[in-house]
A and B are shown apart, each in its own frame.
Chain A
Amino acid sequence: MDILVWFIPLPPLLAFFAIVLYSNPRKALSHSIAIGGALLSWLMGMIVFIAAITRPDLRAHPIGSVINWLPVANGWFQIGVRIDPLSAVVLFFVVWTVLGIFLYSVGYQNFGQPAGEHDHPGLPPEGAAIRVRKGLTHHVMSIEPLYSRFFALISLFAFAMLLLVVSDNLLTLYIGWEIMGFCSYALIGFWYGKKSARDAAIKAFLTTRVGDMFLFIGLIALYVQTGSLSYAGSLESSAALAKLAAPAGFLGLTWAGLIGILIFIGVVGKSAQFPLHVWLPDAMEGPTPVSAMIHAATMVSAGVYLAIRIFPLVTLGWQQGAPITAAMTVMAAIGTFTALFAASIAVTQNDIKRVLAYSTISQLGFMIAALGVGAYVAAVFHLMTHAFFKGLLFLGSGSVIHGMEHGAMHAQGDQPAEGHPTGEHVDPQDMFNMGGLKDRMPITFWTFLAGGMALSGLPLVTAGFWSKDEILAGAFNGNHLLIFIVLAISALLTAFYTMRQITLTFLGQPRTEAARHAQENTRTMTIPLIVLAVFAVAAGWVGIPRSFPGLGAISSNPLESFVGTMIPAWLEGHADVAGSSIPLLTSLLVSLLGLYVGYMVYRKVDAGAEDPLRRPLGAWYAWAQNRYGIDALYHTLFVRPAVWLSEVFTYQILDKKIIDGILEGIARGTLGLGSLMRRFIDVALVNRAGDLTGSGVRGLGGEMRKAQTGKVQQYMLLAVLLTVLVGAVLFFILVRA
């Protein structure tokens, strides 16, 4: 079993190489290899997961092993794999969502459809015309031109995510983290021919890189301080923690606090927390399965996973009930603010995927806030349930978009064979173009509803309710009243924008022809939806608090007793206290209220009508819809100065003017000196005797002048002169010695 863990990430990696090097031209083979790889990882992952939950005291005896990897000085840097309660939970949801998304991609990328005659690699397929009758064609969806490449890249991504999960140390975690970052870049920019996709890819890569630099320094500092990067050696051993408790001499932080904050900044980048959140909404330029996998279920979750891993660092020295540490304060503040901030933007977005993107940012904020107030299990719980329901929602939105595109083509009807298709062009992602899809796409509707209800925290039946309730309870019981109130408002907004989305998309009447002709998708797309919908509802049942009225009596809260063992020793005794009923009532209230208001406001939106909220909210609405102007601000504050600094300051001023200017000045000076010497020494003194030499030098100079284009002859003279000078010095020294 210990060896099996090593093999979990490998099949997708092999699939990546097999597709790139071999099966690239064969589309069916490529997706078979990719899905086969994902299936193998899923199988091994499930075997390991079952072994993990059945092993008594997994915390003390995790599954895994280590090998020597890097020779360092007198020893080896070891890397290894480890499945402990935390990684077991993450492994579980990762293998399920990955497998589902792989399968879904087959349908989403239009496998089995003809190639479009106007399609090009690097651009989204525009559809193909098939002849129906003489002279008439009908437009259908066309297959993605880079179909194989897509499966290669998502396989590489799956490898990196699984590597991150099974790692027993922060270095291989970082390796997986960065490879995922690359895959995210390559997949956001998958349609690289689109300017917007390219720009989004660059933005994602560079914004997360800001965080990664801090993370990298944090890891180095941790390695230096503890002599190890393994979880056991650097985060869990009492010897290491004792060293980390020492003051770092920087802002009054301990080493643990400083390193914790540095690593947390990496999390801020990866999990798109304020102020590094700007890349995630733009990342929706990628194909929708990518948004589901990378930007909802796995990669952004990896950020939170890391934040959970470093929990011992940020909480070192904190006791239950005492004021939270500096690092925890940072996390709580950023998480809470992000939760509200992103939720308020989500309310104003019209693009079905962007709503979900801001929602993801907001929900990740909930998790970070939970960690900030010390609610460890709640964070893990919400991480898991969110991966399921948000993955589901993204896939559902992809299904809607796909159905809308189909509807748009169908609505055009039969066209003359010549010329481009005509007819209305509707944005298939704008929710105001939808409506009434409930009847056209029933499976998508019901599964989306399940996901949406989980996101809103519909009481009792959905997973999101249980995990969000835990977070609110954590904030309330820890006496963090402000955090509690802000998170409650965010939850209210969450329920509201979710219902807005569902109502605009699925309920009411179709607002465009495309929506009227939208069609349910193939089974490869709907089956993953159904599977994830089951988890979106049922995943919450593993964490029902024992203290919950009624249901608590029959719940053993297996999640708490499983993951709770990971809580550092100094925080024991926190688990599952029967607190006040206020957080529970709040959860109930905000969820139901948000859903109700959302439905009431949006149930009757006519075609072409503007958002009913626009008028009452006025300028604030426009401001929020424009992301509070933060993107533009960053452009002015960071991007443009950076370009000036590199193009003008470093290159033009520093290198060209100053440094080369000094060099040329020296050259000019020596040239002047040389000609002075020639005039007053050579010509005047040596004169006739030096005639021969003089003409030689002149000849040489003339020759060189021919070869030069600029001022380089001065260098030559400089060198000659220097040689003479140094030779003289040398001679002097040698004679003296």
Chain B
Amino acid sequence: MQSATPFLSLILFIPTVAALLLLFVPSNERGVIKWGAFIASLLPLALTILMWMQFSPNAVTGRFQFEEIAYWYPAIGASYHLGIDGISLTMIFLTTLLVPLGILASFSLTERVKGFMILFLLLETGMLGVFMALDLMLFFVFWEAGLVPMYFLISQWGGKNRNYASLKFILYTMGGSLGLLLAIQMIGVTTKSYDYLQWLGNWRTLDAVARPLFGLPVSTVKSIAFWAFVVAFAVKVPIWPFHTWLPDAHTEAPTAGSMILAGVMLKLGAYGFLRLVLPLFPVQSKEYAPALAVLATLAIILGALGAFGQDDFKRLVAYSSINHMGFVVLGIAAAAAAAGTDNALLAMNGAVLQMFNHGLYAAGMFFLVGVIYDRAHTRDLNAFGGLWRLLPIYGTVLMFMSMASLGLPGLNGFVSEFLVVRGAWPVFIAATTISMIGVFFTGAYTLKALWKVLQGPLNVHWVGHLTEMTTRELVVVAPLMALILVIGIWPAWILDVINKTVMTLF
């Protein structure tokens, strides 16, 4: 379905154009830079909302909408091909929502504002491109393009240990993507095309062709490609045991960087599973799904235990991402193992919604950690105590966000966890049941953060040193809280879009 307005290109490149324009603004004009970046980042959000309203979940003609296709790299058969379905739409909305909030959250920044804002906007383009690309060369370009700004955001604006963290982040992710590049090349050469829709047609059914590839049986080649994809995405999600870069990177990144890292970048990995691994390798996915489910369970349990073991507020929140993304992986594993059944549909619905939900409350939690860090200049949980008395509004917001992250029914996290568990339980009874241990510890670490920061006897050291959240900071969390509540009470508006897409995937 072609669209009259090139929504996707506009959304994709407005941030880049804005970043280029910012280059010409003098560095000391901080106000202009901040507001310019903020306003520029609102445009993609507005366009995304418009696009959402025009998006028809019931469309029967073709799975992708708002498609755009242009001449790009004909020599190797790659083209500029964009298009979205319900899953990418949800992710694009998440991205275009979190970027302006991240920019607004960074208004407190005083050092090298210009560079920060430019990198931040470039980062947005990189991430959006991954969600929009229907050409695998393009996909890979955006995949890598998103890494670079994030590397600099961490290494230039990060905390004490930023060099270690940023390098570990970029090398680990790039190490993972080498296999991705290899696999994409391999499939591209085999099918003479990099177009996703073509691949869906001819790579999936390649088993029928008896001709060996590269001197190896087709099934072996497919397995190699499958594992190359899996490793790349597993590092990104991250799936246990590829997760140790995450606590370092998230902890050291500046507040807005952590918001985007947890809010969007982790979703790139899960999105890769949904977009590439499951549709292109249904047989291998099904075969290895039980292993994936075991890893997901380990992520849920060990992520929660890891979070509970922290004394650094930000590190605790970082570990919580491993725990929450475990549910996404569990849903994906169940969907792969039970493809074609209602269980798979439910698990997949849950996984996608969990991606969106985690984006909201993880960004919110990192932001709130940033708020307290800006004032106290420490993240040590043992240094706080009883702060609710000094910061009643902050305390209440933190309580709300923590409850969303804990999966309190009535807020968004519960809906997606319910769907994932409902879908996964009949498929992997033992793994799903055991992961409830992790859900219990989710409660434990969430309460640990609350009791260390807000409750208990007041640490009198802070009297007179901490100020309440500003209006600007409230504006950052308000949209997140509103969405969290709305999805918790009435999830149908977003789940309907996801559900109808998921049903076409199988």
> CA A186 – CA B455 in complex, angstroms?
11
Which chain B residues lie closer than 8 Å to A206 at the CB level? 440, 443-444, 447
Could you tell me if A723 and B409 are in contact, using CB atoms closer than 8 angstroms?
no
Which chain B residues lie closer than 8 Å to A72 at the CB level? 342, 345-346, 349, 419, 499
Could you tell me if A70 and B456 are in contact, using CB atoms closer than 8 angstroms?
no
Q: Is B217 an interface residue (CB 8 A)?
A: no
Which chain B residues lie closer than 8 Å to A68 at the CB level? 492
Closest to A227 in B: B342
Nearest CB of chain A from residue B180's CB, rounded to whole Å: 11
Number of interface residues of A (CB under 8 A): 72
Against A, the Cβ 8 Å flags (1 = close, 0 = not) of B459-492 are 0000000000000000000000000000000111
> CA A645 – CA B214 in complex, angstroms?
48
Number of interface residues of B (CB under 8 A): 74
Could you tell me if A733 and B214 are in contact, using CB atoms closer than 8 angstroms?
yes
Which chain A residues lie closer than 8 Å to B167 at the CB level? 707-708, 712, 715-716
Could you tell me if B306 and A220 are in contact, using CB atoms closer than 8 angstroms?
no
Among the interface residues A178, A186, A201, A643, which one has the most CB atoms of the partner chain B within 10 A? Answer: A178
Q: Is A111 an interface residue (CB 8 A)?
A: no
> CA A202 – CA B455 in complex, angstroms?
11
Q: Is B205 an interface residue (CB 8 A)?
A: no
> CA A177 – CA B164 in complex, angstroms?
45
Nearest CB of chain B from residue A73's CB, rounded to whole Å: 4
Q: Is B389 an interface residue (CB 8 A)?
A: yes
Pick the contact of A192 from B345, B388, B426, B443 — CB < 8 Å?
A: B388
Pick the contact of B214 from A221, A716, A737 — CB < 8 Å?
A: A737
Within 8 A of B (CB), among A220-258: 220-221, 223-224
Which chain B residues lie closer than 8 Å to A201 at the CB level? 455
Q: Is A726 an interface residue (CB 8 A)?
A: yes
Which chain B residues lie closer than 8 Å to A194 at the CB level? 457
Among the interface residues B389, B419, B495, which one has the most CB atoms of the partner chain A within 10 A? Answer: B389
> CA A487 – CA B342 in complex, angstroms?
48
Could you tell me if A70 and B495 are in contact, using CB atoms closer than 8 angstroms?
yes
Against A, the Cβ 8 Å flags (1 = close, 0 = not) of B76-98 are 00000000000000000000000
Could you tell me if A715 and B168 are in contact, using CB atoms closer than 8 angstroms?
yes
Could you tell me if B306 and A650 are in contact, using CB atoms closer than 8 angstroms?
yes
> CA A650 – CA B309 in complex, angstroms?
8
Pick the contact of A217 from B307, B409, B433, B491 — CB < 8 Å?
A: B433
A-B contact count (CB 8 A): 186
Closest to B221 in A: A733
Nearest CB of chain A from residue B185's CB, rounded to whole Å: 7
Pick the contact of A736 from B214, B389, B441 — CB < 8 Å?
A: B214
Could you tell me if B456 and A195 are in contact, using CB atoms closer than 8 angstroms?
yes
Q: Is A122 an interface residue (CB 8 A)?
A: yes
Could you tell me if A733 and B186 are in contact, using CB atoms closer than 8 angstroms?
yes
Could you tell me if A182 and B408 are in contact, using CB atoms closer than 8 angstroms?
yes
Could you tell me if B175 and A193 are in contact, using CB atoms closer than 8 angstroms?
no
Q: Is B271 an interface residue (CB 8 A)?
A: no
Which chain B residues lie closer than 8 Å to A6 at the CB level? none
Pick the contact of B244 from A216, A217, A659 — CB < 8 Å?
A: A659
> CA A179 – CA B407 in complex, angstroms?
11
Nearest CB of chain B from residue A448's CB, rounded to whole Å: 33
Pick the contact of A205 from B186, B213, B310, B443 — CB < 8 Å?
A: B443
Closest to B241 in A: A659
Which chain A residues lie closer than 8 Å to B440 at the CB level? 206, 209-210, 213
Q: Is A74 an interface residue (CB 8 A)?
A: yes
Within 8 A of B (CB), among A180-218: 182, 186, 189, 192-195, 198, 201-202, 205-206, 209-210, 213-214, 216-217
Pick the contact of A193 from B164, B308, B309, B389 — CB < 8 Å?
A: B389
> CA A73 – CA B503 in complex, angstroms?
7
Q: Is A646 an interface residue (CB 8 A)?
A: yes
Could you tell me if B309 and A122 are in contact, using CB atoms closer than 8 angstroms?
no
Q: Is A29 an interface residue (CB 8 A)?
A: no
Could you tell me if B171 and A715 are in contact, using CB atoms closer than 8 angstroms?
yes
Top-10 shortest CB links A-B: A646-B309, A647-B309, A175-B409, A715-B171, A646-B308, A73-B345, A651-B309, A650-B305, A646-B305, A192-B455
Chain B interface (Cβ < 8 Å from any Cβ of A): 161, 163-164, 167-168, 171-172, 174-175, 178-179, 182, 185-186, 189, 213-215, 241, 243-244, 247, 302, 305-310, 342, 345-346, 349, 386, 388-389, 392, 396, 399, 403, 408-410, 414-415, 418-419, 421-422, 425-426, 432-433, 436-437, 439-441, 443-444, 447, 451, 454-458, 490-492, 495-496, 499, 503
Q: List 17 A-B contacts (CB under 8 A).
A: A73-B346, A74-B342, A121-B388, A121-B389, A178-B409, A178-B414, A192-B455, A206-B447, A213-B439, A223-B422, A651-B306, A652-B309, A655-B244, A707-B163, A709-B161, A723-B178, A734-B189
